Amino acid sequence: MMDSPQSASLSVEELHEVWPVLSIDERLEGFRLLPTSVADDFFLDLSAREQGELITHLPASERRTWVRLLPPDDLADLVQAVAVEPGQADAILAQLDDASRREVNVLLAYAEDDAGGLMNPRFARVRPEMTIDEAIGYLRKQAREKVETVYYAYALDAEQRLQGVLSLRQLFQAASDKKVADVMQHDVVTVSENTDQEVVSQLFTEHGFMALPVLDEQNRMKGIVTVDDIVDVVQEEATEDIQKVGGMEALEAPYFEVGFFGMLKKRIGWLLVLFLGQMLTATAMSSFEGAIERAVVLSLFVPLIISSGGNSGSQASTLIIRALALGEMRLKDWWRVARREVLSGLVLGFVLGAVGLARIVVWQEVAGAYGEHAFLLGCAVALSVLGVVTFGTLAGSMLPLVLRRFGFDPASASAPFVATLVDVSGVVIYFTVASLLLRGTLL
């Protein structure tokens, strides 16, 4: 528990460090102990979920101050975060002035993952016919009144259609008597209101902008998405992908904020699917029960074979999932990917198979563990590894592309799922190769 004396002060660093493990009462106490000069910045650094948790537990007299500190896009995130509790969203909106409430309601009408849901409707605007001096004076007025983020100035006509953009550097370097239209850049990279947040993040990565304008179908400018907003998006997307690659549904909150049964629900689905998949492995092995009875030594290498294929498939799926997320490949590249991964699988399988064969031959010479047909057994293992690893790399690389083709999240082709798929095929490949090579000897 935290110390309770109200006269004590607390540094931002100290509170940040212990914040994840504090109860809501302790968070409120710690927040109130922050010096006034840094409390604003601390509040703005919190996630929308954490801001909502604080605000909903504050007295009504204190809520207005903190709610009005947030820009419209962050307010929309806050309202969505508290909307799970009946009446809380309306209580937050009631704290806003009419203009801010309208801005937030407009943002809430967009999908959360679209550019419209991410954008800030307050941005620096100028008219193309203004002189540079007029534009600078107008921007200074906007910055004092309501615009907090000024990376670029956007030139709009009377109908609010985007005509061009200029950076502050261009603005201050231009001659004072020049027109904005003479200095601005006419070829502007924009996004539509319905552009998915992943596409928006790729544009930021590709161009290195600090902000991107959001336009409607009539080319009217509705707001800007800033780089700090997209950093949060990238973190969320990466977190979801990592969780899915781990073989579970994506969490919608930090680990300790997800309830016990909620966590079980997120994990049990894929575990059941994978468990049923592993049953197919047992079924496949039962088909070769006779071969195992005649040559029990074959069963010693089953884990080696299927783990090699599963590991190679997991590697391939992870590489392809990440490449798709970063926009490094497209669906039409599937043939190039397939050729590359088949070749990689053959080389990797050859190396692993050679090591496996060498191990069996050497151990036979040292301990005589595998009998007189040890070399044939080693060849069966080596060829099986070659086949399973090649199949694993191909399956692991193609499955994410197939899922993307049918509109599913490629991250669903998780490493455990690919490993389970390759386990079944690995058993079939191994015992088929062993039956062909060892017939008349061990079998």
Planar angle of CA 137, 151, 233, nearest 5 degrees:
150
> According to the model, what pLDDT value does residue 6 have?
42
3-state secondary structure of 358: helix
**CATH number where 337 lies:** 1.10.357.20
**225 forms bridges with which residues in the sheet?**
212
Last residue of some domain: 80, 110, 140?
Answer: 110
Co-location of 170 and 268 in the same domain: no
Residue 105 exposed, middle or buried by CB count within 10 Å (0-12, 13-18, 19+): middle
Co-location of 261 and 193 in the same domain: no
Co-location of 293 and 373 in the same domain: yes
Name the more confident of 417 and 142: 142
Last residue of some domain: 243, 267, 285?
Answer: 243
Task: Kindly compute the dihedral angle of the four CA atoms of residues 45, 51, 53, 57, in this order, to the nearest 10 degrees.
Answer: 110
Co-location of 324 and 271 in the same domain: yes
Q: Within 13 Å and on the Cβ side, how many CA atoms surround 390? A: 17
7 lies in a domain? no
> According to the model, what pLDDT value does residue 9 have?
56
> According to the model, what pLDDT value does residue 358 have?
92
90, 83, 92: which is closest to 112 by C-alpha?
83
Q: Is the dihedral of CA 96, 98, 100, 106 positive or negative?
A: positive
**288: which DSSP letter?**
T
> According to the model, what pLDDT value does residue 164 have?
93
pTM, full prediction: 0.62
Name the more confident of 423 and 325: 423
Lowest mean pLDDT among 131-140, 159-168, 198-207, 263-272: 263-272
Q: Tell me the pLDDT tens digit for each residue of 91-110.
A: 888 888 888 888 888 888 88
How many C-beta atoms lie closer than 10 Å to residue 204's C-beta? 21
How many folded domains does the chain comprise? 3
Q: Within 13 Å and on the Cβ side, how many CA atoms surround 262? A: 10
Co-location of 297 and 377 in the same domain: yes
**Confidence band for 1, pLDDT divided at 50, 70 and 90:** very low
248 lies in a domain? no
**Confidence band for 83, pLDDT divided at 50, 70 and 90:** confident
Co-location of 71 and 135 in the same domain: no
Both tokens assigned to 61: 């007299």
Q: Is the dihedral of CA 402, 406, 410, 412 positive or negative?
A: negative
Last residue of some domain: 56, 75, 110?
Answer: 110
Q: Tell me the pLDDT tens digit for each residue of 9-43.
A: 567 788 888 888 888 888 888 888 888 778 888 88
> According to the model, what pLDDT value does residue 156 have?
94
310 pLDDT above the threshold of 90: no
115 lies in a domain? no
201 lies in a domain? yes
> According to the model, what pLDDT value does residue 7 have?
39
**CATH number where 214 lies:** 3.10.580.10
Co-location of 238 and 348 in the same domain: no
Sheet hosting strand 125-126, strand order edge to edge: 125-126, 152-156, 162-167
State mean pLDDT over 246-269: 73
Co-location of 434 and 330 in the same domain: yes
State mean pLDDT over 369-389: 87
306 lies in a domain? yes
State mean pLDDT over 416-424: 80
DSSP string for residues in 164-185 = EEEEHHHHHHS-TTSBHHHHSB
2 pLDDT above the threshold of 80: no
Radius of gyration of the chain (CA): 30
**Confidence band for 386, pLDDT divided at 50, 70 and 90:** very high
Name the more confident of 417 and 253: 417
419 pLDDT above the threshold of 80: no
> According to the model, what pLDDT value does residue 13 have?
82
Co-location of 195 and 309 in the same domain: no
Co-location of 301 and 383 in the same domain: yes
Residue 136: give the domain boundaries.
125-243
> According to the model, what pLDDT value does residue 103 have?
87
61 lies in a domain? yes
Co-location of 213 and 302 in the same domain: no
**CATH number where 79 lies:** 1.25.60.10
Using an 8 Å Cβ cutoff, are 92 and 78 in contact? yes
Mean pLDDT is highest, among 72-86, 118-132, 283-297, 370-384, for 118-132
54 lies in a domain? yes
**In the chain, pLDDT over 90 holds for what percent of residues?**
23
Sheet hosting strand 221-226, strand order edge to edge: 191-192, 211-215, 221-226
Residue 436 exposed, middle or buried by CB count within 10 Å (0-12, 13-18, 19+): exposed
3 pLDDT above the threshold of 60: no
Q: Is the dihedral of CA 181, 187, 192, 196 positive or negative?
A: negative
Q: Tell me the pLDDT tens digit for each residue of 287-303.
A: 777 776 766 778 888 88
117 lies in a domain? no
**165 forms bridges with which residues in the sheet?**
154, 185
Whole-number Å distance between alpha carbons of 218 and 272 = 49
The pLDDT mean for the chain works out to: 84
Q: Which run of H or of E encompasses 392?
A: helix 374-405
Co-location of 224 and 333 in the same domain: no
**358 forms bridges with which residues in the sheet?**
none
Helices then strands, counting H and E runs in the chain, come out as: 20, 6
